[in-house]
Amino acid sequence: MIQKTEAQPHLGRSISLSDLHLGYGGRDVIAGLSLEVRAGEFIALLGQSGCGKTTILRALAGFVPVRAGRISVGGTDMSRTPPEARGMAMMFQSYALWPHMSVAQNIAYGLKLRRRPRAEIRARVAEMAALVGLGDLTARKVQDLSGGQRQRVALARALAIDPPVLLLDEPLSNLDAGIRATMRHEIRALQQRLGLTTILVTHDREEAMSMADRVVILEQGRIAQAGTPEEIYHQPASPYVARFMGLGNRLEARVEQGLLRTGNGTLPTGGLHAPQGTPEGPAEILFRAESARLGPAPGPALALSGQVVSAFYLGSAYRHEIAVGDDRILVDAPQRHQAGTPVGLHVPATALSLFPARSQTSVTGQEAAMAAIPTL
For ligand ATP, the closer of residues 220 and 350 by Cβ is 220
Contact 199, 43 (CB under 8 A): yes
Provide, rounded to whole angstroms, the least separation between the CB of residue 23 and ligand ATP. Answer: 7
For ligand ATP, the closer of residues 67 and 141 by Cβ is 67
Q: Which of residues 262-291 bind ligand ATP (CB under 6 A)?
A: none
Provide, rounded to whole angstroms, the least separation between the CB of residue 26 and ligand ATP. Answer: 10
For ligand ATP, the closer of residues 167 and 331 by Cβ is 167
List the 265-268 sheet strands across, edge first. 265-268, 259-262, 249-256, 281-287, 353-356
For ligand ATP, the closer of residues 169 and 332 by Cβ is 169
Provide, rounded to whole angstroms, the least separation between the CB of residue 314 and ligand ATP. Answer: 25
* Cα 348 to Cα 292: distance, rounded to the nearest angstrom: 7
For ligand ATP, the closer of residues 29 and 103 by Cβ is 29
For ligand ATP, the closer of residues 202 and 269 by Cβ is 202
Residues 6+ apart with CB under 8 A from 145: 103, 137, 153
For ligand ATP, the closer of residues 52 and 163 by Cβ is 52
Q: What track of x and - describes contact with ligand ATP for positions 43 through 82 (by CB under 6 A)?
A: ----x-xxxxxxx---------------------------
The torsion of the CA quartet 130, 134, 136, 142, rounded to 10 degrees, works out to -140
For ligand ATP, the closer of residues 37 and 351 by Cβ is 37
State which of residues 2, 20, 29, 322 lies at the interface with ligand ATP (CB under 6 A). Answer: 29
Provide, rounded to whole angstroms, the least separation between the CB of residue 339 and ligand ATP. Answer: 37
User: How many CA within 13 A on the CB side of residue 206?
Assistant: 13
Residue 171 near ligand ATP by CB under 6 A: no
User: How many CA within 13 A on the CB side of residue 109?
Assistant: 18
Beta strand 27-37 with 15-24: parallel, antiparallel or unpaired? antiparallel
Polymer length of the chain: 376
Provide, rounded to whole angstroms, the least separation between the CB of residue 46 and ligand ATP. Answer: 9
Provide, rounded to whole angstroms, the least separation between the CB of residue 67 and ligand ATP. Answer: 13
* Cα 314 to Cα 307: distance, rounded to the nearest angstrom: 20
Centre a 10 Å sphere on the Cβ of residue 75 and count the other Cβ atoms it contains: 8
**Greatest CA span in the chain, whole angstroms?**
76
List the 222-227 sheet strands across, edge first. 88-91, 165-169, 197-202, 42-47, 214-219, 222-227
Provide, rounded to whole angstroms, the least separation between the CB of residue 138 and ligand ATP. Answer: 32
Provide, rounded to whole angstroms, the least separation between the CB of residue 367 and ligand ATP. Answer: 18
For ligand ATP, the closer of residues 18 and 48 by Cβ is 48
* Cα 147 to Cα 207: distance, rounded to the nearest angstrom: 18
For ligand ATP, the closer of residues 27 and 100 by Cβ is 27
Provide, rounded to whole angstroms, the least separation between the CB of residue 24 and ligand ATP. Answer: 3
Provide, rounded to whole angstroms, the least separation between the CB of residue 268 and ligand ATP. Answer: 40
State which of residues 140, 203, 234, 337 lies at the interface with ligand ATP (CB under 6 A). Answer: 203
Tell me the number of residues near ligand ATP by CB under 6 A.
11
Q: Which residues bind ligand ATP (CB under 6 A)?
A: 24, 29, 47, 49-55, 203
